[in-house]
Amino acid sequence: MAAPPHQPTMSPTDFASVVTAITSAFGDPTRREIYLFVHEHDDGVTASAVAERFDLHPNVARHHLDKLCAGGYVEVTVARPVGGGAGRPSKRYRVVAPDIALDLPLRHDDVLVELLGRALAALGPVRAEQLAENVGVDYGRAMAASMSPGSDRHRSFQAALHAVADALTAHGFAAHAERHGDELRIVSEHCPFGGVAIEHPVICAVDRGMVQGMLEALYGHQLTTETALSLPTGGEHCITAVQGN
């Protein structure tokens, strides 16, 4: 009798070893468990099911599944609701093949992400966030210096805020400045750090620091920036609130 589809034909030990190797190449141990979970379901799973099973935010669950898809280990299909109802079609993720090839090319970006993750974890959350923000501030000041050479560099606060948004957009953030009640903020519709920020939310402190560094250099006064919303916390975009001291 033929083995049922989507079941490992190698020994359990070999199968576990291969899965570990694959997910280690991706640089995240959680992905190993997610892959095994998908492999257990012949008809595939949804991102919401993965989020519930592993107690993850749906954005994070989708990120892991998309990484597995990008590596060619999982595929996604769109399924209509059971019974042909009028609900939205759901994406279902399933393994591409039960027999996993041992062709694992080195993924340099994933190695760097793994190194970054371990370095930040070793620092601890407080020091890691402080370091990330300081890096952002320094980079923001350097950006401002290239934008406004010479002595006539200080601008009005509104002009500085819009200049920062334009500079961030040029760097891939798709940002704009807006007023929200009594609060001024920078809204970034796109994150050029991509999945790295979801895996390591401390990266958001770099964005915050860049805004602070540029604004202080362009405006000429000390300011306070705060991450009001971000992709890792479930937002559809990132918001940096700005306040003068």
Question: pLDDT for 36-50, tens place per residue?
Answer: 888 888 888 999 999
Q: pLDDT by residue for the chain (245 residues), tens digit each?
A: 444 444 445 566 666 666 655 555 455 677 878 888 888 888 889 999 999 999 888 888 888 888 888 777 888 888 665 555 555 667 899 888 755 554 445 455 667 766 777 787 788 889 999 999 999 999 999 988 887 554 445 678 888 888 898 888 888 888 899 988 778 899 998 888 877 788 788 888 999 999 999 998 988 888 888 999 888 888 888 999 998 66
Whether 12-105 shares its CATH topology with 109-244 is answered no
Minimal CA–CA distance to 160: which of 173, 146, 147, 142?
147
Any idea where the domains of the chain sit in the sequence?
12-105, 109-244
Give the CB-side neighbour count of residue 149, counting CA atoms within 13 A: 1
Minimal CA–CA distance to 111: which of 224, 28, 46?
28
Question: 245: exposed, middle or buried (C-beta count within 10 Å: 0-12, 13-18, 19+)?
Answer: exposed
Strand partners, 244: 223
One of 1.10.10.10, 3.40.50.300, 3.30.565.10, 3.30.43.10 is the CATH number of 12-105, namely: 1.10.10.10
Whether residue 145 contacts residue 217, with contact meaning beta carbons closer than 8 Å, is answered with: yes
Minimal CA–CA distance to 163: which of 179, 138, 140?
140
Looking at domain 109-244, its CATH superfamily turns out to be Trafficking protein particle complex subunit 3 (3.30.1380.20)
Edge-to-edge, what's the strand order for the sheet holding 175-180? 175-180, 183-188, 238-244, 223-229
List pLDDT tens digits, range 122-159: 888 899 999 999 999 999 999 888 875 544 456 788 88
pLDDT of residue 13: 63
Whether residue 112 contacts residue 199, with contact meaning beta carbons closer than 8 Å, is answered with: no
pLDDT of residue 83: 57
pLDDT of residue 235: 84
- What CA–CA distance (Å, rounded) separates 169 from 157? 18
